[in-house]
Amino acid sequence: MPRTPLFLSPNRLLSSTKPRLQTRTQPERAPSFRPYLTDAIRAHQASKMAPQLDGYFQQVDTLSDSFIERLRQAVAIPSVSSEAARRPDVVRMGQFLADELIKLGASVELRPLGKQDGTDLDLPPVVLARYGNDKKKRTILVYGHYDVQPAEKSDGWDTEPFDLIVKEDGRMFGRGSTDDKGPVLGWLNAIEAHKAAGIDFPVNLLMCFEGMEEYGSDGLEDLINQEGKKYFADADAVCISDNYWLGTEKPCLTYGLRGCNYYSIEVWGPGADLHSGVFGGTAQEPMTDLVRVMSSLVDTDGKILIPGIAEQVAPITADEDGLYDNIAFTMDTLHEALGSKTTIFQDKKPTLMARWRYPSLSLHGVEGAFSAPGAKTVIPAKVIGKFSIRTVPNMEIDKTNELVRLYVEDVFKKLGSKNSLKVYPQHCGNWWVASPNHWNFSAAAKATERVWGVKPDFTREGGSIPVTLTFEQATGKNVLLLPMGSSTDGAHSINEKLDKRNYIEGIKLLGAYLHYVAEEPMN
Ligand X SMILES: C[C@H](N)C(=O)N[C@@H](Cc1c[nH]cn1)C(=O)O
Least distance from Zn ion to the Cβ atom of residue 295, Å: 27
**Are 423 and 413 a contacting pair, CB within 8 Å?**
no
Catalytic annotation on 147? Answer: yes
**214 labeled part of a ligand binding site:** yes
The three-state secondary structure class of 371 is coil
CA-CA distance, 344 to 358, in Å (whole number)? 14
Q: Minimum distance between the CB of residue 492 and ligand X, rounded to whole angstroms? A: 6
Asked whether the beta carbons of 388 and 361 are under 8 A apart, the reply is yes
Question: One of 100, 147, 227, 236 is an active-site residue; which one?
Answer: 147
Please work out the total of residues on this chain that contact Zn ion, with binding judged by CB under 5 A.
Answer: 3
Q: Which residues, other chains included, contact 260 with Cβ-Cβ below 8 Å and sequence gap of 6+?
A: 216, 388, 389, 390, 391, 427, 428, 429, 464, 466
> Pairing between strand 139-145 and 204-210?
parallel
Site string for ligand X, 186-215 (x = CB under 6 A): ---------------------------xx-
- Pick the binder of ligand X from 55, 302, 350, 463 (CB under 6 A): 463
The residues in 279-308 that bind ligand X, with binding defined as CB under 6 A, are none
Contacting residues for 153 by C-beta, under 8 A, at least 6 apart? 159, 160, 161
**Residue from 140, 267, 465, 514 binding ligand X (CB under 6 A):** 465
Cα distance between the two ends of the chain: 26
Q: Are 489 and 498 in contact (CB under 8 A)?
A: yes
**The binder of ligand X chosen from 466, 483, 485, 511 (CB under 6 A):** 466
377 is in an annotated binding site: yes
According to CB under 6 A, which residues from 406 to 435 bind ligand X?
A: 429
Distance between CA atoms of residues 348 and 354, nearest Å: 10
495 sits near ligand X (criterion: CB under 6 A): no
Residue of 100, 210, 213, 320 marked active site? 213
Please report how close the Cβ of residue 180 comes to ligand X at its closest, in angstroms.
6
Nearer to ligand X, 269 or 393 (CB): 393
221 is catalytic: no
Name which position in 89, 100, 147, 180 contacts Zn ion (CB under 5 A): 180
Q: How far apart are CA 131 and CA 513, in angstroms?
A: 16
Q: What is the rounded CA–CA span in Å between residue 328 and residue 335?
A: 15
179 is a contact residue toward ligand X (CB under 6 A): yes
In the complex, minimum distance from the CB of residue 200 to ligand X, in angstroms, rounded to a whole number: 32
Q: Is 449 in the site for Zn ion (CB under 5 A)?
A: no
Contact 476, 225 (CB under 8 A): no
Other residues' Cβ atoms within 10 Å of the Cβ of residue 163 = 14
Supply the minimum distance, in Å, between the C-beta of residue 429 and ligand X. 5
Strand, helix or coil for residue 445 = helix
Q: Which of 179, 320, 461, 520 binds Zn ion (CB under 5 A)?
A: 179
**Alpha-carbon span 178 to 241, nearest angstrom:** 10
Binding site for ligand X (CB under 6 A): 179-180, 213-214, 216, 242-243, 260, 262, 429, 463-466, 491
Binding site for Zn ion (CB under 5 A): 179-180, 242
Annotated binding site for substrate: 242, 275, 377, 390, 464, 492
User: Residues with catalytic annotation?
Assistant: 147, 213
